[in-house]
A and B are shown apart, each in its own frame.
Chain A
Amino acid sequence: MDTNIVEIINVTREVAWLPWAVQYFFLIGLSVGGLLLSLPGYAFAREEWRRLGRVALLVALTCGLAAPVALLSDLHQPGRFWHFYVVLRPTSWMWWGSLFIPFYVTGLLVHGWACFREEFQQQGRVDSRLAALYRLAALGGGRNDRLIRGTGLVVLAGAALVALYTGTEVAVVKARPLWHTPFLPVQFLMTALVGATGLVLLLNRFAAVTDHEVEVQANRLLAGALGGVMVVGGLWLALGLFGIDRTHAEALESVAKSEAWRVTAIWAVLATALPFVIAVAKPKGTGLLTGLIAVHSAWMFRWTVFIGGQTVPKTGAGFYEYALPAGPDGLLGIVGTAGLWVFLLLSITALLPTPPRSAPHPVRAVPAADRAVAAE
C-alpha cells in the first residue's frame, strides 16, 4: 500500500549533549591514547620508544587536564557537580565515570611527574634562577624505573576504566540505535589511538627540530590504528547491511536515506583510508599531513556520533536540524577548550626542561636534550 506521511506539527528536540561533550570525549580519548603510546617508552623502559613516548606523554597530560573542564561545562548546572559524590548510583555509567575521571587524572599527574622527574633533576643542576624550583619538583631524586612502572600500571588501569566507561555510557543508550552497539566502545578506543598518534605527529612536526624517527614510528602506529578502525567499521556495516543484527540494521536504516549522512560516511572512509595509504607508502616527511587528517578524523567521529546522533528523532519523522550556535553552547565551547589545551601545552612545554621550541638557551638543557622531542 502506498502511504505518504507528511509531518505537520511536532516538536524539535534540541541537542542536549552539547559540543562540549564532543570536546570532552575527544580530549579524554586522546589522553588515554597518548598514555597508551607512552607506556612502552616509559613504564616498560624501552629506549627506542622513549622519544615518541615523551611526545605521547605530553598529549596525555595536556588533553587529560583539559578534558574534565569540557565535561563540567557540558552539565547545564556545573555548580552542582558535587551531587555526583553524595549518592551511590551504580546503575549509571556516568556516575561511575565521576569516580574514574579523578582517579585517572590524578594517576596521570603522578605518573607524568615520575616520568619527567629525571628532567627536573637535570634542570635542577643547571645554573639558573629556577634551578631551586626544579630541584624541589624533583623531590631529591631522578629517574626511577620502578616508580615509573608502578605509577604507569596504576594509570593504565585508570585509562582502561575511562575507556570502558566512556564507551559503555553511550553504547547502553538503547533509545538511540546508532549508539546502541557493542562496537562503539571499541570504535571510540581505536579512533582515540588514531587521534593521539595524529597529535604526536603534529607536536613532533612543530617541535624545534622534527624527529624523523619518531615520525616514522608514529606513522606506522597510525597505519595500524587506522587499519583497526577500518576493520571494526566494516564489521559494523556488515552487521547492519546483511541484517545480521537488528540494532545495527535499525541504526543503518535510521540514517540510510539521508544525503547528509551519506556524505558523512564517504568523508569518514576517506579520512581513514587516505592517511592509511600515505602512512604506509611514505612514513617519512608526511607527519604533518597524516597527523592533521588523523586528529580531524578522531574529532569528526565524535561529532558525528554525538551531534549527528542527536539529530535523529526518536519518534518524529526525518531529522532534527542542527546549526552550530556561536555562543558558549556551540562554537565558543569548541574554541574555548582548544584554547585551554594550547595554554596547557605551552605551560607544560615551557616548564618542562626540554621545551620543543621555546628553550631560550638550548645549551642549558644539553643533558636532557638527547631525550627531547626537539633533539634528533
Chain B
Amino acid sequence: MDQSRRNFCLGAGAATVGAATLSTAPAEAAVARKGGDPAHRWAMVVDVRKCVGCQACTVACIMENDVPENSFRTIVSTYEVTEHDSSGTYMLPRLCNHCEDPPCIPVCPTGATFQRRDGIVVVDNTVCVGCAYCVQACPYDARFINHETQTADKCTFCVHRVDAGLLPACVETCVGGARIFGDLNDPGSTVSKLVREQDLKVLKPEQGTQPRVFYVGLDPKFQGRVDGTPTLWRPSAHAERSLAGKEHA
C-alpha cells in the first residue's frame, strides 16, 4: 500500500495497536487531548534519499495554508557538503514533528495550542494571544508568529485535508515520493511498516519530544543543530537591511 501519494485511504479504524517501538504519551498529556479520532495516530516518514530539493512541498504548503510571505510551515533545508574534496547536496525537509510529548503545549498559557487525539498538534488562532512562548519551547524552530493573524502558526499535517480523507498538500505534491503519510495505529500502513522494519531516525531525540516525523537516511550531522556556515539567503525584511556579519545587536 503506497500512502505516499494517491492511494492514501482513511479507515482501518479497527486497528488500534501502535507500533511496538513507540511509547505512548504521558498520561496527563493524553488526557488533555481533544478532538480528532483516537483510532488514528498520524505520522510522517521522510525519505531524504528520495528528496530532490525542488521545494514543491514548500510551495504547496504555502498555497494550501495561505502562509504569509516570509513564513514557512515546511521548508527543505539544503546544504552543500564537502568531504574529501568532493561536494554534494544534502536535502532535509523540515516541518512540525507532531511530537508525542510536545514541549510547545504545556507552556501555552491559554490552551490555544493542543493535541488532538489523533496526535496532530494544532493552534486555535481564535484563542491564541500571540505570546510566542510555544515558539520558544519548540526545539525544532517549527513555529512562528503569523503576522496576518498575529498568532502562533505551524504545520498542521493539513488537518483539514486529513479530516476529509486527503493527504497533506506536501505529501500530495512530492515528486520524489519522499514524504509518506499514514496512520501508526494501522499496522498495515506504510508508515507502520517502515517504523517496524527500518532503522528510522528522528531529529534531536535527546530532547525527549518523541517526534512522529521520522527520517530514512538521516545523517547524524544534521540530526541536531547543524554545524556549518550559515545560509546566504535571508527572507526577513529586517535582516536584509542589516549589515552582513552582524550576529546579534
A residues contacting B by CB (< 8 A) are 1-14, 16-17, 74-78, 80-81, 83-84, 87, 89, 91-95, 97-98, 169, 172-176, 179, 254, 258-261, 264, 304, 307-308, 310-311, 313-325
Whole-angstrom distance between the alpha carbons of A5 and B241 in the complex? 26
- Given A13-B141, A16-B145, A316-B225 in contact, is the A321-B234 Cβ separation under 8 Å? yes
Whole-angstrom distance between the alpha carbons of A275 and B96 in the complex? 46
- Given A173-B136, A314-B225, A320-B239 in contact, is the A87-B231 Cβ separation under 8 Å? no
11 contacting pairs across A/B (C-beta < 8 A): A14-B145, A17-B136, A87-B110, A174-B139, A258-B247, A260-B248, A315-B204, A315-B224, A317-B79, A323-B241, A325-B238
- Given A76-B132, A317-B231, A321-B239 in contact, is the A9-B78 Cβ separation under 8 Å? yes
Residues of A within 8 A of B204 (CB): 315
Asked if residues B230 and A316 are in contact (CB atoms below 8 Å), the reply is yes
Is B129 part of the contact surface with A, judged by Cβ < 8 Å? yes
Asked if residues B83 and A2 are in contact (CB atoms below 8 Å), the reply is yes
When A and B form their complex, which 10 residue pairs have the shortest distance between CB atoms, in order from nearest?
A: A318-B230, A76-B130, A5-B228, A323-B242, A16-B132, A91-B106, A175-B139, A317-B228, A95-B109, A76-B150
Whole-angstrom distance between the alpha carbons of A74 and B136 in the complex? 14
Is B236 part of the contact surface with A, judged by Cβ < 8 Å? yes
Smallest CB–CB gap between A305 and chain B, Å? 11
Smallest CB–CB gap between B61 and chain A, Å? 12
Is B39 part of the contact surface with A, judged by Cβ < 8 Å? no
Whole-angstrom distance between the alpha carbons of A307 and B136 in the complex? 12
Smallest CB–CB gap between B213 and chain A, Å? 13
Asked if residues B136 and A176 are in contact (CB atoms below 8 Å), the reply is yes
B35-81 with Cβ < 8 A to chain A = 53, 55, 72, 75-81
Asked if residues A314 and B140 are in contact (CB atoms below 8 Å), the reply is yes
Asked if residues A175 and B109 are in contact (CB atoms below 8 Å), the reply is no
Asked if residues A89 and B226 are in contact (CB atoms below 8 Å), the reply is no
Most buried by B among A261, A308, A310, A315: A315
Asked if residues A307 and B151 are in contact (CB atoms below 8 Å), the reply is no
Smallest CB–CB gap between A137 and chain B, Å? 36
Chain B interface main SS type: loop
Asked if residues B133 and A5 are in contact (CB atoms below 8 Å), the reply is no
Smallest CB–CB gap between A14 and chain B, Å? 5
Asked if residues A314 and B139 are in contact (CB atoms below 8 Å), the reply is yes
Whole-angstrom distance between the alpha carbons of A290 and B132 in the complex? 35
Residues of A within 8 A of B135 (CB): 13, 16
Smallest CB–CB gap between A90 and chain B, Å? 9
Whole-angstrom distance between the alpha carbons of A218 and B136 in the complex? 37
Whole-angstrom distance between the alpha carbons of A1 and B83 in the complex? 8
B residues contacting A by CB (< 8 A) are 53, 55, 72, 75-84, 89-90, 94, 103, 106-112, 127-133, 135-141, 144-145, 150-151, 203-204, 207, 221, 224-236, 238-239, 241-243, 246-249
- Which one of A7, A77, A91, A261 contacts B130 once the chains associate, using CB atoms below 8 Å? A77
Can you name 15 extra interface pairs (CB under 8 A) apart from A16-B145, A94-B109?
A5-B79, A7-B78, A11-B72, A16-B144, A75-B130, A76-B131, A76-B132, A91-B107, A93-B107, A174-B103, A315-B225, A317-B230, A322-B242, A322-B248, A322-B249
What residue of chain A has the Cβ atom nearest to residue B83's Cβ? A3
Smallest CB–CB gap between B178 and chain A, Å? 16
Asked if residues A311 and B247 are in contact (CB atoms below 8 Å), the reply is yes
Whole-angstrom distance between the alpha carbons of A258 and B224 in the complex? 19
Asked if residues B79 and A315 are in contact (CB atoms below 8 Å), the reply is no
Smallest CB–CB gap between A257 and chain B, Å? 9
Asked if residues B248 and A319 are in contact (CB atoms below 8 Å), the reply is yes
Residues of A within 8 A of B81 (CB): 3-5
Residues of B within 8 A of A74 (CB): 131
Asked if residues A10 and B130 are in contact (CB atoms below 8 Å), the reply is no
Asked if residues B242 and A321 are in contact (CB atoms below 8 Å), the reply is yes
Asked if residues B249 and A8 are in contact (CB atoms below 8 Å), the reply is no
- Which one of A5, A97, A254, A313 contacts B80 once the chains associate, using CB atoms below 8 Å? A5
Residues of B within 8 A of A254 (CB): 225
What residue of chain B has the Cβ atom nearest to residue A3's Cβ? B83
Residues of A within 8 A of B94 (CB): 315
Smallest CB–CB gap between B28 and chain A, Å? 8
Residues of B within 8 A of A84 (CB): 109-110, 129
Asked if residues B207 and A4 are in contact (CB atoms below 8 Å), the reply is no
- Which one of B76, B131, B242, B248 contacts A75 once the chains associate, using CB atoms below 8 Å? B131
Smallest CB–CB gap between B181 and chain A, Å? 21
Smallest CB–CB gap between A16 and chain B, Å? 4
What residue of chain A has the Cβ atom nearest to residue B131's Cβ? A75
Residues of B within 8 A of A169 (CB): 133
Asked if residues B127 and A83 are in contact (CB atoms below 8 Å), the reply is yes
Residues of B within 8 A of A4 (CB): 81-83, 228-229
Whole-angstrom distance between the alpha carbons of A243 and B199 in the complex? 31
Whole-angstrom distance between the alpha carbons of A323 and B133 in the complex? 21
Asked if residues A315 and B106 are in contact (CB atoms below 8 Å), the reply is no
Asked if residues A77 and B248 are in contact (CB atoms below 8 Å), the reply is no
Most buried by A among B82, B129, B203: B129
What residue of chain B has the Cβ atom nearest to residue A5's Cβ? B228
Residues of B within 8 A of A176 (CB): 136
Smallest CB–CB gap between B221 and chain A, Å? 7
Asked if residues A6 and B228 are in contact (CB atoms below 8 Å), the reply is yes
Asked if residues B231 and A323 are in contact (CB atoms below 8 Å), the reply is no
- Which one of A11, A97, A318, A321 contacts B75 once the chains associate, using CB atoms below 8 Å? A11
Residues of B within 8 A of A310 (CB): 136
Smallest CB–CB gap between B105 and chain A, Å? 8
